[in-house]
Amino acid sequence: MNFRIAFALGALLLGDLAEVRSQPIVLSPAEAAKQGPPLAREILSLAPSANFTNVGVLKVRAARDRISQIPIRFKTVTNAMNWSTLYESTASTNFVSLLITYGSGQTNRYEFLEFNDRLTQQPRILAGNGTMVPFAGSDFWVADLGLEFLHWPTQRLLRKEIRRGQSCAVLESVNPDPAPGAYSRVLSWIDIDTDGIINAEAYDSKSKLLKEFAVTSLKKVRGQMELKGMEISNRQTGSRTTLEFDYGDRD
């Protein structure tokens, strides 16, 4: 599956991570700073092996409100130089289009087009803290979809510990210039068995917990385990968004 927020991340070169037991292994500040950047670069260097198209639904539940459902379409195109993913909400009253272009060793390019922009068909180019805006009114931000936090200059591998029954590396990504309301840092729990991020926490510019991310379900598709669902919660507003992918009857 090509959806990068799904964190299908490949081999992570974490040395003795498989030896993690119930007690966390805390790295020294020097080792944390040394091991973090290679891990982030390894994640960012990964690319899909083939083009891919899928559909799904965003289920958004605002605090004490009913759930709204937003149909979503995803399309990934890869070539020798780079690859891109197009995310579109297909509801006519909530049209949003986001094209993210990735390249090894390069920053992401974000082209964002909302309902009010359709008359001109001129997408906005987002960068930095400007990527921390909602996608289709959900709790997922543009920055989340592009794993923008892995491009920040400070990356630290803080510790190795058990999370949700899996041996994980805990990577801290620090925003060098957080704007009010934006992420100041992100903690990611990277599972060595699935090579993905099974949990993440994002903190605001005042270092207060803002969002939590978790993988919620998996499905075997053509002999491989693929992401079926994931959830992101805003701990300050009480809202929650679940993204469910539709694989049809493929097994």
CA dist 40 and 114 (Å) reads 30
| Model pLDDT, residue 115 | 74
Domain ranges in the chain are: 19-246
Binned at pLDDT 50, 70 and 90, residue 194 comes out as low
User: Strand pairing partners for 27?
Assistant: none
**pTM of the complete model:** 0.84
Note the Cα 140 to chain centre separation in Å: 9
CA dist 237 and 173 (Å) reads 23
Note the Cα 229 to chain centre separation in Å: 13
CA dist 24 and 51 (Å) reads 39
Fold (CATH) for 19-246: outer membrane lipoprotein receptor (LolB), chain A (2.50.20)
For the stretch 118-172, pLDDT in tens is: 566 788 999 999 999 999 999 999 999 999 999 999 999 999 988 877 788 899 9
| Model pLDDT, residue 141 | 96
Q: Write down the mean pLDDT value for the chain.
A: 82
Res. 9: pLDDT tops 70 = no
Res. 222: pLDDT tops 60 = no
Which among 187-191, 213-217, 222-226 has the top mean pLDDT?
187-191
| Model pLDDT, residue 22 | 65
